[in-house]
Structures are given as structure tokens and as C-alpha cells.
Amino acid sequence: MTSEDAIFRPGLLKDKHILVTGGGTGLGRAMAERFLRLGAAVHICGRRQEVLEQSVGELRPLGPVHGWVCDVRQAESVERMVGDIWSHAALDVVVNNAAGNFLARTEELSPRAWQAVTGIVLSGTINVTMAVARRWLQANRPGIFLNISTTYASTGSAYVVPSAVSKAGVDALTRSLAVEWGPRGIRCNGIAPGAIRTEGAFSRLLPLPDLERKAMGHNPLHRFGTLDEFTSLAVFLVSDASAYVNGEVIVMDGGAQLQGAGGFTELGRSLSDEDWERLKPKKK
């Protein structure tokens, strides 16, 4: 039995309009699917049109879903998308899920490499948050933000430093805005998941078979999280069942963080100079 069968009643998210950034793949797509199954109308966005088209095509039988080509790093692109969404119906929930990341030795990062990750994770989250919240605040309308973080945001981690820095900023944003906008009906929470198998994350963060084995070995439960476990927490946090939860970033990682913080520190240290060379992007 999945936790969906166990806990969540059909129609729980009926009449909720939800935007999931980066909703064409991975955890974002899984949330989009789960929200649709529970009655929501869902918008997903990303940079790649073909990826969105495929996901929208697969998800459409489940309910109303719309794909938007939008680069969250570009404030104008975000403003255009949010304006277009609003011209049909106002959003009730936004999941800031889009991210960029890769394993690299920090001293080797170019300015563009820093910008690639911080632009998506930190600026992208801020761009989407501002465009939506201004509309909610102006209309005196309640709303919910759910920001997808990582466990190492609170501790830092070697070898994923642009991501750690950006996600720490996102967590600060979550907690700050929970207080600033809470009195005006806007809740802000986050989820800090441990490793959950997705193509996007595993191809960039655990790109060698040995790293996957080590990451699993580091986890007290000796397994990765599942999409079902992740989306169950997401549903709870975007539903009225969590109405009194505000400003929390909830860790769900099987206890990996408690076993030892900054999971990529240990993994990165196990790599040889030759491994690091192999992981560098191929010159275009």
C-alpha cells in the first residue's frame, strides 16, 4: 500500500492551482503527478520544451496540466509566465523545485559555473517568489510556498559548494518570509530531502557506480528515499492539513544527516585526480 492510499483522501487538493518549477522531470514531475491525482490543476515549467511536452502529454489524463517554457533565472521570463497563468486563474501554491548542481572541486569553478547554479537555485527561487507573492499580497489572497532544499544547506558540504550556498539562501528566504508574510496569509516551508533517485541528480552528483554504493552505505536505512515518500510530505505541506506549519524546512533523509553531515564531502574525498578530470564537462 502506498502512503497515498493510506492517508490522503481523494480530492484533497481539489480547486488548488499549483505551479511546480522544474516540474518536467524528477521530483518536480512526481509532485505534479501526485497533485493532479489529488484533484489539483497543475502548471509545470522548465527550459526544455520537448521535456515539458512529453510530461504534459503523459500527465494530461490525470487532470488539468499546463507546461510553460520559462527560465527561472530570467525575471522577465518568470513575470511573463506568472502573468499568463494569472490571466486564466490565480495560483494557490508554488513549489520552488527547479535546481542546478554538479560535483566539482571548488577552486576549479569558473565564474560561469558559479553563476549557472546560483542563478537557478537562488535567483530563480527569488524571481518566482516575488512575481507570485506580489500578486497574492495585492489581492489580499492566501498562498503557500514550498521550497525544495537539501540536507547540506544547513551544514555546508564540500564539492557542491555553489548549491550549498544557494540552498542555504533559499532556507533563509523560507524562514524570513514565513515571518514577514505569515500575518498576510502566506505560508512558507521547505523540504530537505536526502538522495532520491532521479536522472538529473544522480547523473550529476553520483556519476560513478561506487559513489552510489557509498551514499547508500552512509544512510542508516541503507536505501535511498522514494518518490512516494517525498511526494507524501509535499502533499501534506501544500494542503490545509499543515495550516499551522510555517517557516520549517523538514529534513527527510532516513537519518543520513545525523550519521554525518555534508554527505558529498566524504564522497568527493574518495575521488582520485583522474576521477575529477573525467567528471569535468566536455569542451563544447
Contact positions vs ligand NAP (CB under 6 A): 21-22, 24-28, 45-48, 51, 70-73, 97-101, 120, 124, 148, 150, 193, 195-196, 198, 200-201
Out of 64, 156, 169, 200, the only residue in the binding site for ligand HXC (CB under 6 A) is: 200
- Decide: 113 and 37 in contact? Cβ < 8 Å: no
**What does the DSSP 8-state code read for residue 107?**
G
Contact partner at residue 59 from ligand HXC, ligand NAP, none, CB < 5 to 8 Å by partner kind = none
Which run of H or of E encompasses 15?
none
140: helix, strand or coil: coil
Decide if residue 104 touches ligand HXC (CB under 6 A). yes
- Decide: 102 and 108 in contact? Cβ < 8 Å: no
Residues annotated catalytic, as ranges: 152
Decide if residue 102 touches ligand HXC (CB under 6 A). yes
Binding map of ligand HXC across residues 130-169, x = CB under 6 A, - = no contact: --------------------x------------x------
Decide if residue 282 touches ligand HXC (CB under 6 A). no
For ligand HXC, which is the closer residue by CB, 163 or 189? 163
Decide if residue 280 touches ligand HXC (CB under 6 A). yes
Strand extents, DSSP E, 83-165? 93-96, 143-148
For ligand HXC, which is the closer residue by CB, 35 or 102? 102
Instruction: Kindly give the interhelix angle for 26-37 and 49-59, rounded to the nearest 10 degrees.
Output: 30
Q: Which residues, 6 or more positions from 202, have their beta carbon under 8 angstroms from its beta carbon?
A: 195, 212
Distance in angstroms (rounded) separating the CA atoms of residues 72 and 231: 22
* Cell numbers linked to 281: 564537462
The residues binding ligand HXC (CB under 6 A) are: 99-102, 104, 110, 112-113, 116-117, 150, 163, 195, 200-201, 204-205, 279-281
